[in-house]
Amino acid sequence: AFACQVAVAIGFDAGVLSCLEHLEAAPWAEDDEEKVTCALAELRLQNVGAGDVLKRVSVEVTNGTGEVGDNEQVILKLLHVVLEGKDEKARREMKGLVLKMLRENSSPNDLRKESLYSACDGCLELLRHHFLLAASSDLQDVSQIARQADNLHWMLDILIDRRIAEDFLKSWASQSELSDVHSKVPAVHRHGVSRVTAGLFVGMGKGQLLVPKEVRYMLLQTWLVPFYEDFGWMRRVSKGVDTHLIEDGLSNTILTLPLAWQREILLAWFYRFLNSSENCPNIQREDLKFGGGGLSGSAMVNNNYQRNYTLQLQHTRTH
């Protein structure tokens, strides 16, 4: 790119063309793309060779369809390939790659919310189908429960990154049909479902998911008991699960609720924890107090959570 700049400066057209031909054909290092793009943009070359070089880093707009639409199609294809892949090791590797790509190249328009939720809905439908079959003792395709739960957990990460996960939370909170039959599915197959719930607790606890208190309470009413039942399994067999982060997320989520609801949830947890502490999350906090006035607290909520929930906490303390 520097040689091209020199050739332009001295008016050496043949040299400019030669440089462009070299840039178009030669491999680039990882950090060369931005340098080349910026250099050519500054030179404002009209030469056809410059267009050929830039085609390596951008898609030409044609027939009124923009680059954004093309990018969305590519990303959606990658998403579905990962969601439907058969090789678990390859799926794990590609999930990390696609998530990194989305984080590094994200823009408000590169992938529509509707497209992401359509992929989520497909995974949820498959999970519901196989979960209900397993609850009726049909275990023929029971491995699909773990597969689709893992897909939903991954999609939740993407939605939280983009700050559009609230509708996912509302949908998951309404899955009472699944939570009602949860205990009928063997724990070895179902514990991945509770990882989805745990991801929502972490998101709410960090203030990344802001929904009305009724929705937060409905999530706990629907999924908290199944989550308790699977916590021991998650701790033992799920790789990469940070149980302390999940416990903090659950504690912080509870502390966003009105005190009467906090008391109800925490008293139920207290009895469960006393009977099986190894298989129950430890959500006791220095700022949780059992007393005649009920429960109080939230001074230990992390800074990010405090910024997002200050008004809600103030309201809670006044009731």
What integer is the mean pLDDT of 228-235? 90
Question: What's the pLDDT score for residue 90?
Answer: 87
Same domain, 140 and 237: yes
Same domain, 139 and 242: yes
What integer is the mean pLDDT of 140-169? 93
Residue 285 has pLDDT above 90, yes or no: no
Contact 131, 181 (CB under 8 A): yes
Question: What's the pLDDT score for residue 7?
Answer: 53
Q: Is residue 91 part of a domain?
A: no
Question: What's the pLDDT score for residue 288?
Answer: 53
Question: What's the pLDDT score for residue 271?
Answer: 87
Residue 49 has pLDDT above 50, yes or no: yes
Which residues span the domain enclosing 25?
A: 2-54
What integer is the mean pLDDT of 248-263? 91
Q: Is residue 147 part of a domain?
A: yes
Question: At 206, is the pLDDT very low, low, confident or very high (cuts 50, 70, 90)?
Answer: very high
Q: Is residue 138 part of a domain?
A: yes
Question: What's the pLDDT score for residue 33?
Answer: 66
**Among 14, 39, 54, residue at a domain's last position:** 54
Cα gap 223→190, rounded to integer Å: 13
Residue 50 has pLDDT above 60, yes or no: no
Cα gap 169→216, rounded to integer Å: 9
Percent of the chain scored above 90 by pLDDT?
A: 40
pTM of the model: 0.73
The larger pLDDT score, comparing residue 297 to residue 99, is at 99
- Number of compact structural domains in the chain: 2
What integer is the mean pLDDT of 264-282? 87
- Measuring CA to CA, which residue among 283, 186, 172 is closest to residue 229? 186
Q: Is residue 189 part of a domain?
A: yes
Same domain, 31 and 152: no
End-to-end CA distance of the chain: 66
Same domain, 172 and 304: yes
**Among 38, 54, 70, residue at a domain's last position:** 54
Identify the three-state secondary structure at position 26.
coil
The larger pLDDT score, comparing residue 9 to residue 313, is at 9
Virtual CA dihedral for 120, 123, 127, 130, nearest 10 degrees? 160
Read off the DSSP letter of residue 184: G
- Top mean pLDDT of 16-25, 65-74, 279-288 is at 279-288
Q: Is residue 307 part of a domain?
A: yes
Q: Is residue 146 part of a domain?
A: yes
- Top mean pLDDT of 103-107, 227-231, 293-297 is at 227-231
Residue 311 has pLDDT above 90, yes or no: no
Same domain, 37 and 137: no
What integer is the mean pLDDT of 202-224? 94
Residue 318 has pLDDT above 60, yes or no: no
Q: Is residue 266 part of a domain?
A: yes
Cα distances from 160 to residues 99, 107, 169, 242, in angstroms, run: 12, 14, 10, 17
Residue type, 11: G
Same domain, 120 and 10: no
Q: Is residue 95 part of a domain?
A: no
Question: What's the pLDDT score for residue 316?
Answer: 40
What is the chain's mean pLDDT, rounded?
78
- Top mean pLDDT of 61-70, 196-205, 305-314 is at 196-205
